[in-house]
Amino acid sequence: MVWEENHPKDQPAMKDNPYYQNQWGMSIDLNTCTGCNACVVACTSENNVQVVGKEEVSNGRHMYWIRNDRYYVTEGDEGAEDPEMLMQPVMCQHCENAPCESVCPVAATLHSPDGTNQMIYNRCIGTRYCANNCPYKVRRFNFFDWTKTLPTEVQMAQNPEVTVRTRGVMEKCSWCVQRIRQSQQQADNEDRDLRPNEVETACQQACPTDAITFGDLNNPESDVVEEKQNPRRYELMAYLNTKPRLSYLGRVRNTNPRIEEALSSEQDADAVAAADA
C-alpha cells in the first residue's frame, strides 16, 4: 500500500540506529484495572504536566496526558438506571501508522527507531494538525504558558529530566522516554543489553494492580510479550489501521447465570405486563 512504500521504519537510518534493538510496546489489562487514577497522578508528577484550572478544563484544554475513560454499559433497551461501568486508561497509543505523524508540517512528531511516537517540543510551531488527526484525542496543546507564573516552591516539584513546555507546543504521553533513554544510556555505558522489564513507565510503576505492562517487544523475556499473546487482546479503534503499539486486554465478567436468567425473565414478564396494559 502507498503508505508502506519507503516507510521510515525501513530506512537504513532507522535500522542502523542503536535504539532499533528495542521496540517498545504496552498492554493494559482491563480486567485488573479498577480505575483508581494512580497512573494519572503519577504521569503528571513525572512529566511536569501542568494544571489549568476550572475554566480551562471546561474549555477542553486540560493537560493530563493519560485519562481514564469511564463507560456505562447497558444491554439492549435497559435504561440509565442500572448500568455497569467500565474504566479504560487511554494515553498515546504510539501507533505504528500514526495519523499525527504524517500531517505535521515541520516534522515535530516522528516515529523513533524504537517504535514510539516522539514529540519534539522545540520543533513544534503549534499548528495543532496532529491533535486534529489523532482519533484517540490524546494530544494536549499548551494554549497558555502554564509555567510562567508557577510559584518557586512548585517549581521545585518539577522533574529536572523532562522538558518544561511553553505556550504553543503540543505535548503527549511519550512512554516516559526520559526513563527509556536513561536506561538505554546506562546499559550502553555498562556495555550490556537492557534487562527484561528494566524500563518502567511512571504509570506502570504506580499501578497497584500491575494492569499496565510496558516493555521491549523484541526481548522474549519481557512481560509485555506474554501479555500481547493473550487472546483477549485488542487495539483501540484498530479498524482505522493506525496499528497502535498499545493494546488492551478486554474485560471479562464472571456473572452468575442464575441472576441473569432470573432478571431477564423478570424483564420479560414486565414487558409482557406492559404490553398487556
Scanning residues 105 to 144, which ones bind another protein (CB under 8 A)? 110, 112-113, 116, 118, 120-123, 125-126, 128, 131, 135-137, 143-144
Query: Is-contact 109 101, C-beta < 8 A?
Result: yes
Q: Which of 2, 80, 273, 277 binds another protein (CB under 8 A)?
A: 80
- 6 contributes a contact to another protein by CB under 8 A: no
Q: Hey, which residues between 37 and 56 contact another protein (CB under 8 A)? A: 37-38, 40-42, 44-46, 51-56
Alpha carbon distance 246, 215 (integer Å): 11
Amino acid at 105: P
Q: How far is the CB of 79 from another protein (least distance, A)?
A: 8
Residue placing its CB nearer to another protein in the complex, 263 or 272: 263
What is the rounded distance in angstroms from the CA atom of residue 152 to the CA atom of residue 79? 51
Q: How far is the CB of 164 from another protein (least distance, A)?
A: 7
* Number of residues counted as binding another protein (CB under 8 A): 147
For another protein, give the closer residue by CB, 160 or 276. Answer: 160
Residues 6+ apart with CB under 8 A from 233: 27, 227, 247, 248, 249, 250
User: If binding is defined by CB under 8 A, does position 160 make contact with another protein?
Assistant: yes
Q: Is 221 in the site for another protein (CB under 8 A)?
A: no
5: contact with another protein by CB under 8 A: no
Q: Which is nearer to another protein, 151 or 276 (CB)?
A: 151
68 versus 196: smaller Cβ distance to another protein: 68
Would you say the C-alpha torsion 237, 241, 242, 246 has a positive or negative sign? positive
The whole-angstrom separation of Cα 68 and Cα 89 is 4
Instruction: Please report how close the Cβ of residue 76 comes to another protein at its closest, in angstroms.
Output: 7
C-alpha cell at 146: 502554564
CB contact at 8 A, 90 and 136: yes
Least CB distance from residue 271 to another protein, whole Å? 14
Could you give the CA distance from residue 101 to residue 257 in angstroms, rounded to a whole number? 47
